[in-house]
Amino acid sequence: MQDRKAPFDSAVSKWTIFLLVLAFVTLWAVRGGLERAGRMQTANTSASVFARTAPGSPANAVIRLDQVVGAYLKGTLLERESDTAYHLPIGSGSPVVAILTPETSVVMGRPQDIAAGAIVQLAGTLDKDRVLRAKQVVILTGYIRLSGSAR
């Protein structure tokens, strides 16, 4: 009689199971990454909306940093043209003052990237003095471009 091996004893079966598990784990990881990427959108806050934001309310703003002194940030609110293009508003623009706290997290980039000239997205809460207490900073300098024309 012929000696038959159990189906899971062969090397081909073991490799097949390994590759199927690997494919499943890879698909799961890619799906999670795509979900997170879909949720990450640049802010679309115009100067008028930012000006009407009530103290104590959450606020998001994409700004070009004009001054960075320790945890104190001052910049110009940018207006969105598309996901990857922003422009300076007509006139002097809306100044935004923000403060980084110990709880502030830098999502993309490094804390060293927070410097004058950088383009960042800030998310936090507006206090009674209209200062944005940043909970999250996203460095957008390499991601978006600053268009020279204002609409």
| 33 to 36, 39, 41, 70, 151: CA distances (angstroms) | 5, 10, 14, 33, 35
Give the Cβ contact number of residue 86 at 10 Å: 24
- Predicted local confidence at residue 60, as pLDDT: 86
Of 72, 56, 73, nearest to 64 by C-alpha is 73
pTM comes to 0.66
Q: What is the pLDDT of residues 87-142, one digit of tens each?
A: 887 766 678 899 998 999 888 888 889 999 999 999 999 888 889 999 999 898 88
The pLDDT value recorded for residue 38 is 55
Q: For 73-86, what is each residue's pLDDT tens digit? A: 999 888 888 878 88
Question: How does the average pLDDT of the chain come out, rounded?
Answer: 82
Alpha-helical runs (H) found in 40-129: 47-52
